[in-house]
């Protein structure tokens, strides 16, 4: 099922996605080896072949060099099929951003291989102490999504009194399988631990420093905006999938509600109509701003920074708020743990918990 699913997200085949999202959720579960997620070899090979984890990496490293609008749409479509898949793609491709901050030696070593995939954390923790000509790195970092299939890790640490990012080789990192969230259960978002990992200076980098100039200038695009471009489509995709199921439920129950619960009928009808119209407008606006922002960056013009910040927060907040309003009106069936609405709702709650969606 991987080939048609990947083709569907790349070709924006909404009909295939709508028709197969429930089947794909079951398929995706079967494609994981562990309870909290670990993609099997078949799944990984399909991702490598399609270069899905390299959509935002330059071609010299085997990447696709996608524009941000196209990549964001792929992530949204994957999230419609399964929120776990969309989240893993968003996290995985996000690591490509760091490649342009490294020496060419490390770029070739860590990002050129076909299996290159980054997991890690942006929360400052741990430290790096000088030890002869190396640095001794110690620390632990939670919520490292995709940890089981990552080929390398990134983390943020204190390095001689300054905040720095570091590349951690996978074979020197311990994975502590502590991910236990209510949703996105198959994202293996575990803790990683580094104990006495000795690394050279070239493994450290600072996002505040301007990277070298590349023809594909992702590294000089603001990281905050890039994170929003990756994560907002996950919330959007999960929401679309969730509302597919809501539409199915209401289509079946509306005649009964109209006859016996007219107030409920009119309330649900109003929510459905307003949501579909507003979501279409807001999502179109989001992609328009993303496209304009990337083009502005390419041409050294206005990035639409404030517009992109605002629309990403507003769109995600709208998805969460409207979904929370309609779910209590759907009856008792949807509180069953394995109901598609409940599964998607837990995924949405978990994704929306990310701090990128906070406006303070």
> For position 155, which CATH number holds?
2.40.110.10
pLDDT in tens, 71-125: 999 999 999 999 999 999 999 999 989 999 999 999 999 999 999 999 999 999 9
Distance CA 299, CA 130 (A): 41
Provide the pLDDT confidence category of residue 212 given band limits of 50, 70 and 90.
confident
- Domain holding 44, by residue range, is 2-98
Give the tokens for residue 306: 């404030």
Q: Are 232 and 345 within one domain?
A: yes
Question: How far is residue 162 CA from its own chain's centroid?
Answer: 28
- Are 198 and 228 in the same domain? no
Residue 285 has a pLDDT of 97
Q: Is residue 291, in this structure, part of any structural domain at all?
A: yes
pLDDT at 340: 94
CATH code of the domain in which 38 resides: 1.10.540
pLDDT for the residue numbered 295? 95
Mean pLDDT of 128-133: 93
- Do 192 and 228 lie in a common domain? no
- Final residue before a domain boundary, out of 205, 229, 258: 205
Best CA proximity match to 190, nearest among 235, 131, 248, 149: 149
**Residue 103, in any domain of the structure:** no
How many independent structural domains does the chain possess? 3
Last residue of a domain, one of 205, 233, 250: 205
pLDDT at 210: 78
Q: Are residues 70 and 196 in the same domain?
A: no
Instruction: Tell me what the mean pLDDT of segment 129-151 comes to.
Output: 96
Q: Is residue 53 part of a domain?
A: yes
Give this prediction's pTM: 0.96
207: left (phi over 0), alpha (psi -120 to 50) or beta: alpha
pLDDT for position 239: 98
Same domain (yes/no): 93, 137: no
In a domain, 104, yes or no: no
Long-range contacts of the stretch 264-269 (C-beta < 8 A, 24+): 264/329, 267/329, 268/326, 268/329
162 and 227 together in one domain: no
Residue 54: is its pLDDT beyond 90?
A: yes
The predicted pLDDT at position 303 comes to 87
Overall average pLDDT of the 243-249 stretch? 93
What average pLDDT is seen over the chain? 95
Question: 154, 176, 205 — which closes off a domain?
Answer: 205
In a domain, 214, yes or no: no
Percent of the chain with pLDDT over 70: 100
Q: Where are the alpha helices (DSSP H) in the chain?
A: 2-11, 14-30, 41-50, 68-81, 83-94, 104-106, 223-260, 262-298, 305-326, 340-352
**pLDDT on residue 213:** 81
Question: Which is it for strands 118-131 and 152-159: parallel, antiparallel or unpaired?
Answer: parallel
- Whether 77 and 46 map to the same domain: the answer is yes
pLDDT value of residue 208: 85
With a cut of 90, say whether residue 282 has pLDDT above it: yes
- Residue pair 68/226 in contact (Cβ under 8 Å)? The answer is yes
For residue 332, the model assigns a pLDDT of 92
Average pLDDT of the residues in 58-67: 96
Does residue 239 sit in the same domain as residue 200?
Answer: no
In-domain check, residue 15: yes
- Tell me: do 16 and 47 sit in the same domain: yes
Does residue 136 lie within any of the structural domains? yes
Same domain, 169 and 288: no
Decide: 22 and 340 in contact? Cβ < 8 Å.
Answer: yes
What pLDDT shows up at residue 360?
72
What pLDDT is recorded for position 42?
97
For residues 162 and 138, give the distance between their C-alpha atoms in angstroms, rounded to a whole number: 15
Rounded mean pLDDT of 33-38? Answer: 97
Query: Within a 10 A sphere around the Cβ of 119, how many other Cβ atoms?
Result: 32
Closest CA to 315 of 231, 244, 243: 231
Q: Are strands 134-144 and 190-199 parallel, antiparallel or unpaired?
A: antiparallel
pLDDT of residue 281: 96
Whether 86 is in a domain gets the answer yes
**351 pLDDT higher than 80:** yes
Residues 61, 136 share a domain? no
Same domain, residue pair 233 and 348: yes
* CATH assignment at residue 246: 1.20.140.10
211 — pLDDT class (breaks 50, 70, 90): confident
């Amino acid at each position: 099922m991987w080939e048609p699913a990947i083709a569907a997200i790349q070709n924006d085949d909404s009909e295939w996605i709508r028709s197969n999202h429930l089947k794909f959720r079951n398929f995706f579960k079967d494609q994981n080896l562990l309870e909290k997620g670990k993609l099997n070899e078949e799944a990984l090979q399909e991702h490598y072949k399609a270069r899905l984890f390299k959509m935002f990496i330059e071609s010299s490293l085997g990447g696709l060099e996608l524009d941000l609008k196209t990549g964001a749409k792929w992530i949204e479509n994957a999230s419609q099929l399964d929120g776990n898949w969309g989240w893993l793609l968003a996290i995985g491709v996000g690591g490509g951003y760091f490649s342009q901050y490294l020496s060419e030696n490390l770029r070739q070593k860590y990002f050129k291989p076909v299996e290159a995939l980054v997991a890690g954390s942006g929360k400052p923790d741990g430290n790096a102490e000088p030890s002869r000509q190396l640095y001794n790195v110690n620390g632990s970092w939670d919520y490292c999504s995709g940890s089981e299939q990552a080929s390398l890790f990134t983390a943020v640490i204190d390095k001689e009194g300054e905040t720095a990012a570091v590349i951690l080789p996978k074979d020197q990192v311990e994975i502590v399988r502590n991910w236990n969230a209510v949703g996105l259960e198959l994202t293996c978002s575990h803790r990683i631990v580094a104990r006495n990992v000795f690394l050279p200076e070239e493994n450290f980098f600072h996002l505040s420093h301007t990277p070298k100039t590349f023809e594909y200038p992702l590294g000089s695009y603001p990281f905050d905006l890039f994170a929003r471009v990756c994560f907002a489509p996950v919330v959007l995709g999960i929401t679309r999938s969730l509302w597919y199921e809501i539409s199915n439920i209401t289509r079946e129950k509306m005649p009964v509600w109209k006859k016996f619960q007219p107030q409920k009928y009119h309330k649900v009808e109003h929510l459905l109509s307003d949501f579909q119209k507003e979501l279409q407008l807001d999502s179109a606006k989001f992609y328009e701003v993303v496209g304009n922002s990337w083009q502005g960056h390419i041409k050294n013009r206005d990035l639409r920074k404030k517009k992109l910040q605002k629309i990403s927060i507003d769109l995600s907040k709208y998805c969460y708020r409207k979904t929370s309003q309609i779910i209590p009106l759907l009856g008792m069936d949807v509180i069953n743990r394995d109901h598609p609405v409940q599964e998607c709702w837990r995924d949405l709650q978990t994704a929306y918990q990310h701090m990128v969606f906070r406006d303070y």
